[in-house]
Amino acid sequence: MAVKNFYHEIKQRVLICDGAMGTMLQNAVEVGKCPEMLNLIKPHIVRKVHEEYVEAGADIILTNTFGANRLKLKEYGVGHEVSKINQAAVRIAREACGDKSFLAGDIGPTGQLVEPLGDLSFDTAYEVFHEQAEALVKAGVDLIIIETMADLQELRAAVIAARNAAMGIPVIAQMAFTEGIRSMTGTDPETTVTVLQGLGVDAAGANCGKGPEEMINIIKQMAGASTLPLIVQPNAGLPRLVDGKTQFDLEPEKMAAYALDLVKAGANIIGGCCGTTPQHIRAIVSRVKGLKPVRRKPKVLGRLASRAHTITFRKNDPTHVIGERINPTGRPDLQQALKSRNFSVISTEARKQVEHGADILDINVGVTGIDEGELMKGVVLSVQQAVDVPLSIDTKNPRALEEGLKNFAGKALINSVEGREESLSTILPLAKSYGAAVIGLTIGGKGIPEKAEERFEVAKYIVDTALSYGIPREDIFIDCLTLSAGAQQPLVEETLKALAMIKEGLGVKTVLGVSNVSHGLPEREDLNAAFLSMALAAGLDLPILNPHSRKIMNILRACDVLISRDSNARRYIEVTKAIPITPKHREDVEQDARKQVYQAVLNGDRDNILEFVKKLDGREAPFEIINKIIIPALEVVGDMYEKGMYFLPQLMLAAETAKKAFTYLKGKMPEGASHHRGSVVMATVKGDIHDIGKNIVAAILSQHGFKVIDLGKDVDAETIVGRALQEKPCVVGLSALMTTTMPQMEKTVKMLKEADRDIPLMVGGAVVTREFAKGIGAFYAKDAVEAVSVTKELFKHIRREEGRGTK
Amino acid sequence: MNRMVYGVKAKGSISVKIDKNEVLRYLGFKRGRTKEDKRVKDLINYTIEDVVEVIKPRYAFDTFRIKKEPQSIVADDTNLVIDCSAVVRLLDTSRYITIMVVTVGKELETLIDRLFKEGKFTEGSIADAVGSEAVEKAADAVNDIVKERAAEMGYHITKRFSPGYGGWNLKVQRKLLELSGGCDIGVTVNENDMLVPRKSVTAVIGWTREGQENLSHKCTYCSMNSCGFKGE
């Protein structure tokens, strides 16, 4: 079927994609075996599934190649068979569908996380996807569908690779939204389509992760943010585990009942993911096949995006600003940090700028004598870990630019291209390829023209050229260059004049670096603020400035009120209320430090906790800090651990962080005062030498304020009982790893009960179960966090008893 | 011919490659649920490096002909009797068994104890998980050596099976240690049949003319379904 047809068809009618392959093959593939190997060993089974979908009326058939990339296949020892498996898949599917349906080559995730969240480099991910896409295209698919992507960076790598391999055939890309309406690594539907539209896919959408009902909202959000055709492939409801196999609960007719709503929400292609069958597809076909897609008229807006959010340029939105501080020019501290690759300094600078109101961060890492490409990659990767804002990649070095664009998960801004042929032909292809917006500087072949009219001409040349490269007007920003009022006073007015002309005449957004205007003059902040307000009045959309300057930020917010970019002065009022008057109030400092201590425990920041705790010296009683800040933070950590959102190292880091604070605060407490809640005697029982679990529990308990007496491992019952009688702890905790040492546990419990039946026991360990614990008369804790809650309960109980005693 | 198989024994040192994903699994990391944390991942990378530096993986094994009794298996010329039904079933078609022992050495134990003593709980718990992965990988490597030796003689090997799993009583540990040559590489057993140093493994592997090995994740065969570490 001709490709041209697809572009035509998708405008004319709603297309139906096929349903699940994986769950259809569940019975044919043994657990732990590679489903794509069926293309080589049992092609007839795969063909049968394709035939059933063609028969059901699917317009698009996907090849059985979801996991047929080198990394996935390698897990099954067939990493070298990429091209053979993909080619076989295409042949089988073509035999089944002939020219009746479009044949789409299916590409799924690698199963590994791309940097900065994981270890897989963008370049490797690109190569892996390119290899698969090339094999599919060579074998003759009509389209490529990338699906079930959980991470924006992996999605970007797959799309760029597929597009480069596709030789002009359409590329469709879908994200899986599993965490509410976010992907596994935090990307929302609007950001997904923003990035995908920038990358030039032919349709975008969502699949897997959700049933049809929840998909409606996702498609609506995408429809409002993009002009792209949309595709949706929901699961057949929610997964359930039945007899060890995953099943889905939505029957064909019930699922199909949502199809019309999905079309109304804006979907152009509807198919099915996990759990859907040819019957589901047939039911969907009968409801929506042949319908005309709804006509969407989303507002065409400039958009930039980071991993988890998109910023738009609407006419009356508050002015967005680019923070200019990550630039080593004239900053020895940053130069030093960059030279030694100490990126935490850069990350801190990034975080501060965002706290002070930057919406976008400019990243300039030009330090002489250092490989700028490598440095750009490193900085862009680490800044994204610190802040969630779009980046402006600021460099003259094309390789550094490419590294920056590649490694930024989002839609970046390029700073910048000049109005010269050589610059345009180098930079614009990169903008197109990585889906970035671009700033054009009005510098022509003869440098910066003086007159506004001449700058307009350069700007027009840039805009026309960018449009010819397929970069849409809304992604073009023009910077008509701020010159110093000290050196070239008359040219300041020319800049403002040019700005107004360009905005009016070319319909693009404008950018200006504000701070340059005061170069060489005293009281620079005053001049900068004055210039900023004049530029905003002339129509400036996106100032580049120093967000640490309170004066500048105040003027910006004030101007927004005066030029109707802040409806009802809402933000102005909000922000002026929130900004503390200098010098900072004592309470603010305290409040900040409290938050910092709390956050430090939550994030396990063991290196900085003391600095934060010390800020509260003399302001808050040590006892209060422990009970009102640290313990509540530890409780949140415990909760996160129970939910699986933290894993062991994060739990332990939080414990270490709290311990540092405790040790320091204990030294501050009056002699004799104790923050202990009570004591716990702990031991690994006689004959057992596996004490890691006991050590972990002991560490966590002591961080929760209990005095832990750790008797070690291989401890006999007599020693444990003796110590327990001496200490009268609120609980005795025993651990054992092996079944052979569980009788020792029982023996110890018995002996202690005989000696003093009021001391409770708590047991745990790999083979210990709740039933066993109950049987021997002990409390059970499955892990360190449960051990804390059991101990706390017992402690409360003891206190109540004591309270009664004294009455 | 029989003589050739009987007495296939060896001992030596091996190097292991740590699979970070397995370490993450031991530490309870759930992809998609657990918060991604670059700092923690870096810490894990460093700790893996530290552990790899101190461990000294060593192994020993020996091979015996076996005889089938109605409910058990007996190794020739030894007093080893295996009566655990899971193992008897596994060795159903086997004619020989290799008994192996592998350890990563006591140095790691010292490192972990020191880390906990210094209050470095995080590194300590990570090092313990890396140790578990290291001894598994070491056992896999020995498995591969045995597989090669078996193949040279025209045999397939069965899955590896260790005491403590599938109801196989730990009491057999002492016997396995003795027959595999555990004392040659510094592995002993305490009064409760636990191996010392901790990160050590004994196992039996069957030699058979039939069947082939299974590539599924090792956890598939374990009956402990509530296990938090269960992988797939």
**pLDDT tens digits for range A761-801:** 999 887 788 888 888 889 999 888 889 888 988 888 776 66
pLDDT tier at A32, thresholds 50, 70, 90: low
Contact between residue A206 and residue A189 where contact means Cβ atoms under 8 Å apart: yes
The residue assigned the tokens 């011919």 is B1
Q: What angle do CA A72, A24, A232 make, to 5 degrees?
A: 80
| CA–CA dist A401, A411 (Å, integer) | 13
- Asked if A641 and A746 sit in the same domain, the reply is no
One-letter amino acid for residue A506 of the chain: L
Q: Is residue A170 part of a domain?
A: yes
pLDDT tier at B220, thresholds 50, 70, 90: low
- Give residue B230's pLDDT: 54
- Asked if A737 and A639 sit in the same domain, the reply is no
Q: Is residue B208 part of a domain?
A: yes
Chain B interface mutation, best of A601, A640, A652, highest count of B Cβ atoms under 10 Å: A652
Which parts of A685-730 are beta strand (E)?
706-710
Q: Is residue A390 part of a domain?
A: yes
Residue A190 structure tokens: 């609007």
Q: Is residue A305 part of a domain?
A: no
Tell me: pLDDT of A534 over 90. Answer: yes
pLDDT digit string, tens, across residues A350-369:
988 998 899 999 999 988 88
The residue assigned the tokens 């570490």 is B229
Residues A706-714, mean pLDDT to the nearest whole number: 89
Average model confidence (pLDDT) across chain A: 89
CA distances from A341 to A334, A365, A375 (A): 10, 11, 8
- Asked if A487 and A630 sit in the same domain, the reply is no
CA distances from A706 to A430, A662, A668, A678 (A): 59, 11, 18, 5
pLDDT tier at A266, thresholds 50, 70, 90: very high
CATH value at residue A735? 3.40.50.280
Q: Would you call A739 and B129 a contact, using CB atoms and an 8 Å cutoff?
A: no
Residue B67, φ and ψ in degrees, nearest 5: -125, 140
CA distances from A250 to A247, A453, B116 (A): 10, 64, 51
- Give residue A4's pLDDT: 53
Q: Is residue B44 part of a domain?
A: yes
Q: Is residue B232 part of a domain?
A: no
Residue A300 structure tokens: 């065409």
Q: Is residue A294 part of a domain?
A: no
Q: Is residue A561 part of a domain?
A: yes
Q: Is residue B227 part of a domain?
A: no
CATH value at residue A409? 3.20.20.20
- Give residue A580's pLDDT: 44
Strand partners of residue A319: none
CATH value at residue B64? 3.40.109.40
pLDDT digit string, tens, across residues B158-177:
889 999 877 788 889 999 99
CATH value at residue A242? 3.20.20.330
* Number of domains chain B is built from: 1
* Number of domains chain A is built from: 4
The stretches of A547-647 forming alpha helices (DSSP H) are 550-562, 570-578, 586-603, 609-615, 622-624, 631-642
- Asked if A489 and A465 sit in the same domain, the reply is yes
Closest CA relative to residue A107, chosen from A58, A157, A59, A153? A157
Q: Is residue B61 part of a domain?
A: yes
Report the SS3 class of residue A299. coil
pLDDT digit string, tens, across residues A473-525:
999 999 999 998 988 888 999 999 999 999 999 999 999 999 999 988 989 99
Query: What is the span of the domain harbouring residue B175?
Result: 2-221
CA distance A651 to chain B (A): 8
Tally of CB atoms within 10 A around A332: 8
Q: Would you call B121 and A655 a contact, using CB atoms and an 8 Å cutoff?
A: yes
ipTM: 0.82
- Of A611, A643, A668, the residue that ends a domain is A668
CATH value at residue A634? 1.10.1240.10
One-letter amino acid for residue B187 of the chain: V
- Give residue B231's pLDDT: 55
- Asked if A283 and A320 sit in the same domain, the reply is no
Query: What is the span of the domain harbouring residue A368?
Result: 311-578
Q: Would you call A32 and B170 a contact, using CB atoms and an 8 Å cutoff?
A: no
CA distances from A105 to A2, A162, A455 (A): 15, 10, 48
Q: Is residue B128 part of a domain?
A: yes
- Asked if A698 and A624 sit in the same domain, the reply is no
pLDDT tier at A583, thresholds 50, 70, 90: very low
Q: Is residue A27 part of a domain?
A: yes
Partner residue opposite A689 with nearest CB, options B28, B120, B190: B190
pLDDT tier at B225, thresholds 50, 70, 90: low
| CA–CA dist A363, A404 (Å, integer) | 9
Strand partners of residue B206: B97
Contact between residue A367 and residue A341 where contact means Cβ atoms under 8 Å apart: no
Residue A634 structure tokens: 């530890």
**Which residue in chain A has the smallest CA separation from B27?**
A648
- Asked if A570 and A594 sit in the same domain, the reply is no
Half-sphere exposure in the Cβ direction for B207 (13 Å, CA): 30
Q: Is residue B230 part of a domain?
A: no
Residue A366, φ and ψ in degrees, nearest 5: -70, 100
Closest CA relative to residue A697, chosen from A755, A759, A764? A764
A489-506 vs A524-538: helix axis angle to the nearest 10?
30
pLDDT digit string, tens, across residues A86-134:
999 999 999 999 988 999 999 999 988 898 888 899 999 999 999 999 9
Tell me: pLDDT of A229 over 90. Answer: yes
**Which residue in chain B has the smallest CA separation from A700?**
B121
Name residues whose C-beta falls within 8 Å of residue A58's C-beta, 6 or more positions apart in sequence: A16, A17, A18, A19, A101, A271, A281, A285
Cβ-based contacts of B36 with chain A (< 8 Å): 113, 117-118, 185
Q: Would you call B216 and A32 a contact, using CB atoms and an 8 Å cutoff?
A: yes
Q: Is residue B209 part of a domain?
A: yes
Report the SS3 class of residue A204. strand
- Give residue A411's pLDDT: 98
Establish whether the linkage from the previous residue to A189 is cis, with ω within 30° of 0: no
| CA–CA dist A408, A182 (Å, integer) | 18
Q: Is residue A302 part of a domain?
A: no
Q: Is residue A324 part of a domain?
A: yes
Q: Would you call B28 and A184 a contact, using CB atoms and an 8 Å cutoff?
A: no
Residues A731-739, mean pLDDT to the nearest whole number: 84
- Of A668, A692, A725, the residue that ends a domain is A668
| CA–CA dist A477, A9 (Å, integer) | 35
Residue A450 structure tokens: 């003086």
Establish whether the linkage from the previous residue to A116 is cis, with ω within 30° of 0: yes
Tell me: pLDDT of A599 over 90. Answer: no
Which parts of B50-135 are beta strand (E)?
58-68, 73-75, 81-82, 94-103
Cβ-based contacts of A185 with chain B (< 8 Å): 36
Partner residue opposite A699 with nearest CB, options B121, B170, B191: B121
